[in-house]
Chains A and B, each alone.
Chain A
Amino acid sequence: MSCLEEKFDQLRSVYPAEMNSSLVLPLLHLMLKEKGHLTESDAVFIAQYLDVPPMQVKEALTWYTMLYRQPVGKHVIKICRNIGCSLMGAERLIEYLERKLGIKEGETTADGRFTLLAVECLASCGTAPAMQIDDTYHEQLNESKIDQILKELS
């Protein structure tokens, strides 16, 4: 994990020294990027690095929804199910994605390519319906646009 610790040190230099504890969430994010999902031992590793109570990091890990604790697919599709998108057809598109991928919301395809998550507001209400695949936002969606977007993913 020495390479990881180098990246940790880099991030640490951004925060004032007295704010050591603030690094919990940034380090969890960083580790998630490296590993895809996080386990309790990752939380302990961060706690030891920062010299904060392991429970603090474990609590953070289990509380923030962006921190995956189960393996996810190569691509994570987060489709908004909140009010703005619902009014513009989100339910229909979630069903469409479930049929297309052959999985239910919250599941990962058998080949490990896609995880489908229905999420709350992505702040795309003016360009609804919207989804986020990995980091990228896709907006003003319809079925054919979804087909096109998924086709272009490796």
Chain B
Amino acid sequence: MTETRVFFNFDVTADSHTLAAYRQRGGYQALEKVLKGMQPIDVENEVKASGLRGRGGAGFPTGMKWSFVNKQSPVIYLCCNADEGEPGTFKDRWIFENTSHQLIEGMIIASYALKVRHSFIYIRGEFDLPYRRLMEALKEAKEAGLVGEKILGTEFSCDIIVHQGGGAYVCGEESSLLTSIEGFKGYPKNKPPFPAVKGLYQKPTVINNVETLATIPWILANGGATYAAIGTEKCSGTKLFGVSGHVNRPGLFEKPMGYSYKKLIYEDCGGILGGKELKAVIPGGSSTPVLLPSEIETLTMDAEAVQAAGSMLGSGGVIVIAEGTCMVRLLQVLSRFYAHESCGQCTPCREGSAWMNDIITRISRGKGVKGDLERLECITKGIMGNTVCALGDAASMPVNGFLKKFRHEFEYFIEHGRSMYDGRLEI
């Protein structure tokens, strides 16, 4: 079961991203099978049977998301969320650079299931090679009759429009992403109505992550039940995990859900830099609460297990922190990020993220005062649950997590005006 690979099933070569190479590894056979032999509802049922859950971070069941859309609506949109920006996450980029066609095939299959005529890829503006690879692949696909009018000679037509972002983390939040495609600054919208009811230009819209959509061809080629057999019962399939920070061999790994964090860090990544001890792990992108070595000892990489440990599987960005790292200064890096990326719409997040950053920065410069930690906790309470989108929570969770697990380091910094660990981030 550990051998199944949805993504890492080919060697990356100079031309492995081309249509010819993708076809050679079985590419677009699933599309042919779907368009020439399946009804849209069959496709949706197959995805439901696979148990596939969104790979962007929230982990919502994909088939269920698709089923919320009223397929009788005259216009339905599909948007691929490729605004990869959660610190610690670098998987979608790999998909674009090495197998863009897999995403394109997944999008056309999804569009067929959802009765979509125009679909969108919202790709983060900084991405250059990923963007160029995607555009090359789209051109190839159009010329080969795989995208556009009457795909593969059938009655189904679908265009893919690539929309480049402008460098805003919040646009990875789905309603913000839609506002951005509509040509405005990317303010998130209140839900309900959910995008499945009123999304892009008030039309029913499905938003799926790159990895989610790129998994669709495999599911349709091999069957939903086959996919569901991989991983854990509630968290099926394989997932791309990106490991960064203080490990000997950082990088991207495809693992079945339920794989061991410890194995990933110590075997796949060759252990901690310089043979140091592990200090902490941020398990699923920078917004997810930090875990101690004792908490990952037997922890498995699936949504339920990580949630039970008090954190989240998130986007699969595993950030490894070695003993000797100053957690106060590390939190400052994160608080600065969230303060910078808060979109400005909701007062609790706009003001709160800036206040938190001010206080944490002050502590990290040796100017912290008594009561600062309680003040931080009070601010997170004021933010969480009181904002339109999840960015406020994302800014607060690391603060709460760091204070809970490494409070003594913050207290030491405030009391002595200096770090317990020479203020080091680099080991």
- Determine which of A22, A64, A92, A128 lies in contact with B181 in the assembled complex, contact meaning CB atoms within 8 Å: A22
* Inter-chain contact total with CB atoms closer than 8 Å: 158
Query: Which residues of the other chain, A, contact B243 by a CB distance below 8 angstroms?
Result: 126
Stretch among A1-9, A10-18, A98-106, A146-154 lining the B interface: A10-18
Stretch from B17-25, B105-113, B166-174, B300-308 at the A interface: B166-174
CA–CA, A24 to B181, complex, Å?
9
Residue of A nearest to B86 (CB): A121
List the A side residues contacting B86 at CB < 8 Å. 121
Bound complex: CA of A124 vs CA of B14, how far in Å? Answer: 20
* Of A87, A126, A132, the contact of B126 (CB 8 Å cutoff): A132
**Hey, which chain B residues are within 8 Å of A64, CB to CB?**
125, 165-168, 185-186
Point out residues on A near B: beta carbons under 8 Å.
Answer: 14-16, 18-19, 21-26, 28-29, 50, 52, 56, 59-60, 62-67, 78, 81-84, 86-89, 91-92, 119-128, 132, 135-137
**Complex partner residue of B180 from A25, A52, A67, CB under 8 angstroms:** A25
- Within B69-104, the residues touching A (CB, 8 Å) are 84-90, 92-93
Closest-by-CB residue of A relative to B127 is: A123
Q: Which of A14, A59, A63, A120 contacts B340 (CB 8 A)?
A: A120
Closest 9 CB pairs of A and B: A64-B166, A125-B244, A24-B183, A66-B167, A63-B185, A21-B183, A84-B244, A135-B128, A65-B167
Residues in A with CB closer than 8 Å to B93 are: 123
B48 at the interface (CB under 8 A from A): no
Given A121-B86, A137-B129, A84-B168 contact (CB < 8 Å): no
CA distance A135 to B334 in the complex (A): 25
**B262: CB under 8 A from chain A?**
no
User: Contact at B340–A125, with CB atoms within 8 Å?
Assistant: no
Is B149's CB within 8 Å of the partner chain A?
Answer: no
Do A87 and B128 touch across chains, with their CB atoms under 8 A apart? Answer: no
B129 contacts across to A, CB distance below 8 A = 137
- B352 at interface by CB-CB < 8 Å: no
B241 to chain A, nearest CB (A): 10
Provide the residues of chain B in CB contact with A137, threshold 8 Å: 128-129
Known: A66-B167, A82-B87, A120-B87. 4 other contacts (CB 8 A): A62-B185, A64-B186, A120-B341, A123-B89
Report 15 cross-chain contacts, Cβ distance below 8 Å, ordered by A residue.
A65-B168, A82-B87, A83-B245, A83-B334, A86-B426, A87-B321, A87-B425, A120-B169, A120-B337, A121-B286, A125-B89, A126-B242, A126-B244, A132-B128, A136-B128
A91–B166 CB distance below 8 A: no
Instruction: State whether A128 touches B250 (Cβ < 8 A).
Output: yes
Q: What mask results when residues 225 to 249 of chain B are scored 1 for a CB within 8 Å of chain A, else 0?
A: 0000000000000000011111000
Inter-chain contact A124/B166, CB cutoff 8 Å? no
Residue among B163, B169, B325, B343 making CB contact with A87, cutoff 8 Å: B325
